[in-house]
Structure 1
Amino acid sequence: MSSQQTAATPDQPQVSSSTAASTVREAPDDPPTGHVVVIGGGPGGYEAALVARRLGARVTVVERSGLGGSAVLTDVVPSKTLIATAEWMTIADRAPELGIRLDGLAGSGAAGGPVGAADVLRHRIDVPAVNARVKTLATAQSQDIRTRLEREGVDVVAGTGRLVDPEHVAVTDADGRERELTADVVLVATGATPRVLPDARPDGERILTWTQMYNLSELPQRLIVVGSGVTGAEFAGAYTSLGADVVLVSSRDRVLPGEDADAAELIERVFTQRGMTVMSRSRASAARRTADGVVVTLEDGRTVEGSHVLFAVGSVPTTRGMGLEEAGVRLTPSGHIEVDKVSRTNLRGVYAAGDCTGVLPLASVAATQGRIAMSHALGDAVRPLSLRTISANIFTAPEIATVGLSETRLREMGTHYRTSMLPLSRNPRAKMLGVRDGFVKVFAHSGTGTVLGAVVVGPRASESIFPLTLAVTHRLTADEVAEASTVYPSMSGTIAEVARMLHQRSTD
C-alpha cells in the first residue's frame, strides 16, 4: 500500500496486464518519431504512453490484466478506498468528544416492538458492501484510463508482452495466439507481485496476500498481519478501525522500521491504544489452515492463532519469463531491471519504469520514470529523476508524510542540520477537530537554513506535505517558508510555526 518503503523491496504487486476484451484499431502511419511499445499499463506505462503521444510517436500499450495495473486494480486504489472507510470509523469514534450523541434506536425497538441489546443504534461495517465499492471504484478508474488512452490515439493490445530484442516485442493473447510488434523504443513497466513464503502459500480464503483482501465476505474475527512495513501497517491499522481484533507480527524492534523514529513510535502507540496486539522481534516462518481459522508459526517455535492471516512481506519484480535476460537486459541479483536516472537499461532503445526497477515502490515514482523515459527517448528536454524531492505517504491513521532527506540519512552523510518539531495537539484547528496525535518536523541546514527534509504526521498529512515538498524542491530556506501567510485557524499554521522556530538571527 502504497505503499513506504525501501528501494529494494517494492510494496506494490504486478503492473503488467488486461483481461477486458479490447479491439485493436488500425494504427496510423508512423510519424517521424517512430513506434513506442509499452509493456505494462500501470502508472509507469500509461503515463509514458501519454507523453509519447504528445511528442508525436505512434504508441502501443500491451496489458493483460487491466489498465492501471496493480496500482489501480489490486493495490493503491483498492487499499486507499478501504482505508477511507476505516477513517470514517475513526472519526466516528471521536463523536462523543465533540458533543455528538446517537439518539434513538434501530431495529424492532424503533418500530415499536421490544427493545433488545442489539437494537442500540451504532456504526457497523458491511464488509461485502465495502469490498463491492472498492472493486467498483477500481474498475471505474481503470476504464477512465482506457478511455483517456484511446482518446489520445494510443493502441491498447490485450495480452502478455515478451521482449524478443530491442526492436521487437512478442504479444501472446488469452487464447495463446502470438503476434510480433516492431518498435523503435520499448518501455518495460511490468511492476511486481506479492512475495510468498514457501510454507505459507496463499489460498485466497484464510491465508491471504493484500491483493486478495477484497474477496472477504465478513470482517475477520482475528486478523494476523505478518509484516510491519508500509503495507502491513496500513492494513493492520485499517482493520483495527473497522472493528477486527488484529495481531501485527513484526520481525523488527518496532512498526515501520524504515521510517522516521518519532513517527513510527507514535503510530505504534496509537495502534496499541486502539487495541491492536503488536508482536515485535517475531518472524513468521509458516502458516496452515485449521478447521475454522489459521495457525501462524514463528521461527522461535511460538504459534499465533487467528481467523485469517495477511502476509505483507514485500514483493518480487515481474521480470522473469519476459525474455529480458535472453535479449541482454541487465538485471540485479533481486531480479530488478537496472536503469539509470533517465530510465535507460543497458540496451539502446529499451527503457524501464516502476516497481520492476526497484528504484522506489511508489506509483508517483513509476509515473515520473515513465514520463522521463519517453522525453529522453524522443528527444525532448528532460530532467533526470531525483528522489530527494519525492514526497511519500503512509495511509495509517494518522497518516505519515515525508519528503527530502530523513534524519537517519542526514546523520549518515554528516550534514550539519537543525531540527524543529511541534505536536499538532497545540494547533487550534486540531483542537477543534478533536485531533491529538501528530506532529510537524522540519530539518534545515545549519548554515544556509535551506529546508532539507520534513515529516508530517496527522490527518491528511498527504495533503499537508505539499508546501514542504515545494520548499525541498526549490531549495527554499526555513525563513522563506515562515514568511508565507497561512490561514488561521488551519493545520498548515503549524508548518509555518515550525519554520519560524528554525530562524537564525543575522549577525551581519
Structure 2
Amino acid sequence: MSTKRYDAIVLGSGPAGEGAAMKLAKSGRSVAMIERHREVGGGCTHWGTIPSKALRHNVRRLMEYNSSPLFREASEPRHLSFPTMLRHARQVIDRQVSLRTGFYVRNDVPVLQGEARFVDPQTVELMGPDGRSSRLEARHFLIATGSRPYRPPDVDFEHPRICDSDQILELDHTPRNIIIYGAGVIGSEYASIFRGLGVKVDLINTRERMLAFLDDEISDAISYHLREHGVLIRHREEYERVVAGDDHVTLELKSGKRIRGDLLLWANGRSGNTDGMGLEALDIVPNGRGQIEVNDDFQTAQPHIYAVGDVIGYPSLASAAYDQGRYAATHMVNGECDYRLAHDVPTGIYTIPEISSVGRSERELTEAQVPYEVGHAFFKDLARAQISGQTTGMLKLLFHVDSLELLGIHCFGDQAAEIVHIGQAIMAQPAPGNTLRYFMNTTFNYPTMAEGYRVAALNGYNRVPK
C-alpha cells in the first residue's frame, strides 16, 4: 500500500478545519483535507449554523409581513410550510458549498473523502466511500471533526415522530404541535422558528432558567418574549421515557407530567465526533461526550496532533472555531503563535428576536465584587426601531463605576448579533479608549440602531455618583 506524505493533514472541513487548512496552504505547507461527507463545509454548513439561521431568517420575514398594518391593507396574512422554508434555506447551503469548494481548489488543497483512523502517531488510514483504503503520513495533524446531537440510548430516533436537530432538517411536513426537549441555544432557536410558523410549542428546560449563561435580565427577556408569543416553557424537568405511536408521541417526565405532541425534537446536548479514530492508542482519550482535552495552544497529549472547534467543547461557536484553526495552524508553522485569541468571544443566539453578548454579566461582576453601573437603551425609544417596526428589545452596557471601563455588552432584539460588534470593538481598545466616554462623545448616524450606544451610555453615566 503506497503512502502519501504531507506537511499537515486536517480532519474535518467545518470552520475550524477550513481556517487551519487555508492558513497552512498560504504559509507554503503541503496540506490535505479529509472530509467524511461528499461536500465540504461540515456540520456548520449542512446541519447547524447555516440552515437553521437561513430558516430563521425566512420565518422572521414572514412574521414581519403578517404583523405589518401596511401589508394588511394590501393582502391577507400569508402561511408557508416548514418544507417550503427548508427548500429556500438549502439554496444558501448550495452557495456556501460552492464558495468553500473554491477555496480548496484555488489553494491547491486536495479534499479526500472518507473516514480517517490513526494507525500510528504519524499515519492515518483513509477508508474511501468505495471501500478502498489508503495511508497518509504527515508531520502534523489537526482534528476538527465537529460534533453531533447527543442521543440517549433509550430514545428511538428511527421513529418518524422523534428527531434530533440534524434530522429536523429533513422534515417533510409542518407539525401541529411540537415538543422540544432542551432549552439551550438550539432548542430555543427552534422554539422561535416553529412558533413563528404557528406551531404549538412545548419547550422543556432541564435547568432552573433558560440560557443561564446569559445575563439574567436578557435570559428573563427571552423567556418572557417566548411565553408572550405562545411557547409553553417548563423548567426543572427531566424525561423519564419517550413513548411514540402512529399518530402522536408522548414525553413522560420524572415529575409525573405527560406531554403529548405530533413531533419530539431532542435538543439536549452534543457529542464530539471522535468515535473509531484510534485516538485511545495514542493516549488521546476523549471524555464521556467525545471531547478532546487540549492545552492553551490546542495541542493534545501528542504535541504534533492538534484539536479545535466543537470537538474540544466550549465555546462551540463557528466563529471561535475558525479562529482556533488559524491559531493552531500558526503554531504548527512557527512552533509558537505571536497573537492570542480574544478573551471575550461574542455570543450570538438566533432566536426571534436574537440575542448577543460579549464580556461579563451582572452576576459575574457582583460575584467578583467589581463596582459597576448599568446603562440601557430600549429599542422602543429609538427612531430606527420605530421605523422598522422592530421595537422589542434593548441594549445594555455594563461599566466600571470609577474608570467607566466597559465590562460587558448585552443586546436583545432585532440585529443584536450585528449591534454587539460596535461595543466589542471599543472594549478591545487599550485604556483609556475602552470607556463609556467614547459613546458619549461620538456622533452616530441618525436614525440608526447604533445610536442606542449613545443613549445607553448617557443613561448609565447619569447613574454615576458625581
TM-score category by the smaller chain?
over 0.9
Q: CA deviation at 1:327?
A: 1.1
Task: Please tell me whether residue 472 in structure 1 is matched to residue 427 in structure 2.
Answer: yes
Say whether the 8 Å CA contact 2:13–2:144 is kept in structure 1: yes
User: Which of 434, 449, 454 is residue 491 of structure 1 equivalent to?
Assistant: 449
Q: Distance in 2 between matches of 1:72 and 1:455?
A: 27
TM-score when normalising by structure 2: 0.93
Pick 1 or 2: higher relative contact order, CA cutoff 8 A, min separation 6. Answer: 1
How far 1:504 moved relative to its partner?
8.1
Residue 241 of structure 2 is matched in structure 1 by 286
Structure 2 counterpart of 1:138, which letter? I
Shift of 1:204: 6.1
Query: What residue is the counterpart of 1:450 in the other structure?
Result: 405
Task: Compute the displacement of 1:285 (Å).
Answer: 2.9
Percent identity, aligned pairs only, is: 28
Alignment partner of 2:213 out of 242, 251, 258? 258
Asked whether the equivalents of residues 164 and 327 of structure 1 are also in contact (C-alpha less than 8 Å), the reply is no
SS in 1 for 2:71: coil
| Inter-partner Cα distance in structure 2 for 1:297 and 1:287 | 6
**Cα displacement string for residues 66-112 of structure 1 (whole angstroms, at most 9, x for unaligned residues):** 3110000011111001101110122123312xx433446xxxxxxxx
Distance in 1 (CA, whole Å) between partners of 2:394 and 2:77 is 31
The one-letter amino acid paired with 1:382 is D
The answer to whether 1:243 aligns with 2:198 is yes
CA contact (8 A) 2:81 2:197 kept: no
How far apart, CA to CA, are the structure 1 residues paired with 2:359 and 2:414? 20
Alpha carbons of 1:70 and 1:204: their partners in 2 closer, same or farther (altered >3 Å)? farther
Distance (whole Å) between structure 2 residues aligned to residue 506 and residue 265 of structure 1: 25
**Cα distance per residue 1:243-265 (max 9 Å; x no partner):** 11111111223322222211121
Q: 2:71 aligns with which of 100, 111, 132?
A: 100
Q: CA deviation at 1:333?
A: 5.0
Matched residue, 2:64: 91
Query: Per the alignment, in what secondary structure is the counterpart of residue 402 of structure 2?
Result: coil
Which runs of no fewer than 5 residues in structure 2 stay unpaired? none
Give distance in 2, aligned partners of 1:500 and 1:242: 39
Partner of 2:152: 197
Q: Deviations over 1:27-79 (max 9, x none)?
A: 9xx8xxx6110011111001110000111101100001131100000111110
Give runs of aligned pairs for residues 401-412 of structure 1, distance below 5 A: 401-412=356-367
Alignment match, 1:383: 339
Aligned equivalent of 1:392: 347
Secondary structure of residue in 1 paired with 2:356: strand
Task: Please list the CA deviations of residues 394-418 of structure 1 after superposition, one character each: whole Å capped at 9, or x if unmatched.
Answer: 1111111001122222233332322
Letter of the structure 1 residue corresponding to residue 338 of structure 2: V
CA distance in 2, matches of 1:185, 1:353: 14
Alpha-carbon distance in structure 2 between the residues aligned to 1:500 and 1:506: 10
Say if 1:411 and 1:334 are closer, same or farther in 2 by CA, change over 3 A: farther
CA deviations over 1:224-276 (Å, ceiling 9, x no partner)? 11111110000001110011111111122332222221112111211122122
| 1:333-482 mapped onto 2 (5 Å cutoff) | 334-379=289-334, 381-386=337-342, 388-475=343-430, 476-482=434-440
List per-residue Cα deviations over 1:1-42 (Å, max 9, x = no partner). Answer: xxxxxxxxxxxxxxxxxxxxxxxxx99xx8xxx611001111
Q: Which runs of 5+ in 1 are unaligned?
A: 1-25, 105-120
Distance of aligned partners of 1:178 and 1:77 in 2 relative to their CA distance in 1, 3 Å threshold = same
Residue in structure 2 matched with residue 42 of structure 1 by the alignment: 14
Q: Which residue of 2 aligns with 1:80?
A: 53
Deviation at 1:163, TM superposition (A): 2.4
Kindly indicate whether the alpha-carbon contact (under 8 Å) linking 1:417 and 1:446 is maintained by their aligned counterparts in 2: yes
SS at match of 1:456: strand
| Structure 2 CA distance for aligned equivalents of residues 41 and 394 of structure 1 | 23
Taking a change above 3 Å as real, the CA distance of residues 502 and 150 of structure 1, as seen in their structure-2 partners, is: same
Counterpart among 89, 93, 111 of residue 156 in structure 1: 111
Secondary structure, in 3 states, of the residue corresponding to 1:258? coil
How far, CA to CA, are the matches of 1:409 and 1:291 in structure 2?
48
2:35 corresponds to which of 63, 68, 93 = 63
Kept in 1: contact 2:373–2:460 (CA 8 A): yes
Q: Partners of 2:74 and 2:64 in 1: how far apart?
A: 18
**1:302-313 matches, cutoff 5 A:** 302-313=257-268
Question: How far is the alpha carbon of 1:330 from its aligned partner?
Answer: 4.6
Q: How does 1:325-340 map to 2 (within 5 A)?
A: 325-332=280-287, 334-340=289-295
| Aligned positions, number | 459
Contact kept, 8 Å, 1:342 with 1:385, in 2: the verdict is: no
TM-score by length of 1: 0.86
Query: How much does 1:345 deviate?
Result: 1.6
Moved more, 72-81 or 34-43: 34-43
Post-superposition offset of 1:506: 11
Over residues 414-438 of structure 1, what are the superposed CA-to-partner deviations in whole Å (9 max), with x where a residue is unaligned?
3232222232111122122223321
**Please, which of 139, 150, 155 is the counterpart of residue 94 of structure 2?**
139
Query: Structure 2 counterpart of 1:86, which letter?
Result: V
3-state DSSP of counterpart to 2:392: coil
2:172 equivalent to 1:217? yes
**Farther off after superposition, 196-205 or 298-307:** 196-205
Distance in 2 between the 1:325 and 1:421 partners?
51
In the alignment, is the contact (CA less than 8 A) between 2:270 and 2:289 conserved in 1? no
State the superposition RMSD in angstroms.
Answer: 2.2
Match of 1:226 among 181, 199, 219: 181
AA paired with 1:319?
Answer: T
